[in-house]
């Protein structure tokens, strides 16, 4: 089975503006599709640091393209520690030429039943991308307050009956603790609103995003990316959720995820990024036909301003 089919592959790598012999980061290695193209473009003298927090992704570094390239390094870490990890690898702040993040889960993660990411399979309700530590989705359902659960279902899942579902979780767990994907599916079925599959995938997505603190990690990552990039270096981010896209858009516009104008010591508005894409790039008709997952993908790219750039 294919580990993952890369989304917006050529669009993202073209817009990263890769130069031979540069230093690059793929923050979300997965099946290595984007990484492979980065290495092809930057050539033998280039360097690539590929992050992934999922131990399963590591097996893909055995492919020839990676094992035979002396400038390739796999970093088994959450990308929220980008700066710390790169510095540990001897990369200096302000020297990276391009950073890519292709957010979310890989097809491999969704298709591996025992990971508990998908409502299609009966399995323990886990959903951790890194299984080394942290709360599982079942833990979360068994312990969070009704308000917390409502926030998760509403903000991350965009479920219109988030309050009803949150109360139903709390009521159900008094009877029986949540353990499996089937337990959650049963609850969703009883509280269904709107189209069935859509409801299930939104509820599962909400829990996955919370379990892995995906929004928190994205914010930390973008801050580190700005520091690590060289002036003119580019950041490319592919998102699959409107909240993530808004965070990326705001960060590239204003230098913070809220999009509020930042000021320097003298009261001048600071803009650390030059937009490379004014509007998000979306998948072509052909790609969306071939790969359904690409339908919700949005790619934004920005370059770190040099000191002499006009504000």
Ligand X SMILES: C[S@@+](CC[C@H](N)C(=O)[O-])C[C@H]1O[C@@H](n2cnc3c(N)ncnc32)[C@H](O)[C@@H]1O
What is the binding site for ligand X (CB under 6 A)?
4, 6, 28, 30-34, 51-54, 57, 78-80, 102, 104-106, 129, 217
Find the shortest distance in angstroms from Cβ 271 to ligand X.
Answer: 26
Instruction: For residues 43 and 194, give the distance between their C-alpha atoms in angstroms, rounded to a whole number.
Output: 50
Residue 108 forms beta bridges with which residues? none
Instruction: For residues 61 and 68, give the distance between their C-alpha atoms in angstroms, rounded to a whole number.
Output: 10
CA distances from 21 to 18, 138, 216 (A): 9, 46, 32
Identify which of residues 98 and 199 has a Cβ nearer to ligand X in the complex.
98
Find the shortest distance in angstroms from Cβ 254 to ligand X.
Answer: 23
Identify which of residues 26 and 183 has a Cβ nearer to ligand X in the complex.
26
Find the shortest distance in angstroms from Cβ 108 to ligand X.
Answer: 7
Instruction: For residues 57 and 131, give the distance between their C-alpha atoms in angstroms, rounded to a whole number.
Output: 12
> Taking a C-beta distance cutoff of 8 angstroms, is the pair 122, 185 a contact?
no
| Secondary structure (3-state) at 140 | helix
| Secondary structure (3-state) at 241 | coil
Identify which of residues 28 and 162 has a Cβ nearer to ligand X in the complex.
28
Identify which of residues 80 and 298 has a Cβ nearer to ligand X in the complex.
80
Instruction: For residues 100 and 44, give the distance between their C-alpha atoms in angstroms, rounded to a whole number.
Output: 19
Identify which of residues 12 and 191 has a Cβ nearer to ligand X in the complex.
12
With CB atoms as reference, the residue minimizing the distance to ligand X is 30
Find the shortest distance in angstroms from Cβ 110 to ligand X.
Answer: 10
Identify which of residues 22 and 31 has a Cβ nearer to ligand X in the complex.
31
* Dihedral angle sign, alpha carbons of residues 202, 205, 211, 217: negative
CA distances from 134 to 22, 80, 129, 212 (A): 35, 15, 10, 8
Find the shortest distance in angstroms from Cβ 34 to ligand X.
Answer: 4
Find the shortest distance in angstroms from Cβ 233 to ligand X.
Answer: 19
Find the shortest distance in angstroms from Cβ 9 to ligand X.
Answer: 7
DSSP state for residue 310 in the 8-state scheme: -
User: What is the DSSP annotation of 195-217?
Assistant: -HHHHHHHHHHHHHHHHTTHHHH
Identify which of residues 132 and 307 has a Cβ nearer to ligand X in the complex.
132
Instruction: For residues 289 and 29, give the distance between their C-alpha atoms in angstroms, rounded to a whole number.
Output: 24
């Amino acid at each position: 089975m294919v580990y993952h089919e890369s989304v917006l592959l050529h669009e993202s790598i073209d817009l990263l503006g890769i130069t031979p012999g540069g230093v690059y980061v793929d923050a979300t290695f997965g099946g290595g599709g984007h990484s492979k193209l980065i290495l092809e473009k930057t050539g033998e003298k280039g360097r690539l640091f590929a992050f992934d927090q999922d131990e399963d992704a590591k097996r893909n570094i055995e492919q020839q393209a990676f094992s035979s390239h002396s400038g390739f390094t796999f970093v088994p870490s959450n990308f929220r520690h980008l700066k710390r990890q790169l510095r540990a690898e001897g990369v200096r702040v302000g020297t990276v030429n391009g950073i890519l993040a292709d957010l979310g889960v890989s097809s491999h993660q969704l298709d591996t039943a025992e990971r508990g990411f998908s409502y299609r399979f009966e399995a323990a309700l886990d959903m951790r991308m890194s299984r080394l530590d942290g709360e599982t989705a079942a833990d979360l359902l068994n312990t969070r307050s009704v308000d917390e659960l409502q926030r998760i279902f509403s903000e991350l899942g965009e479920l219109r009956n988030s309050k009803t579902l949150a109360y139903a979780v709390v009521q159900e767990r008094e009877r029986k603790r949540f353990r499996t994907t089937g337990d959650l599916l049963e609850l969703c079925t009883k509280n269904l609103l709107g189209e069935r599959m859509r409801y299930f995938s939104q509820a599962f997505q909400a829990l996955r995003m919370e379990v892995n603190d995906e929004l928190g990690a994205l914010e930390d990552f973008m801050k580190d990316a700005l520091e690590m990039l060289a002036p003119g270096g580019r950041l490319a981010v592919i998102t699959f959720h409107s909240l993530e896209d808004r965070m990326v858009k705001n960060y590239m516009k204003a230098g913070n995820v809220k999009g509020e104008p930042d000021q320097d010591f003298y009261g001048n508005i600071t803009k650390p990024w030059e937009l490379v894409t004014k509007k998000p790039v979306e998948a072509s008709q052909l790609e969306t036909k071939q790969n359904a997952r690409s339908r919700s993908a949005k790619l934004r790219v920005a370059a770190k301003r040099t000191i002499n750039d006009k504000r």
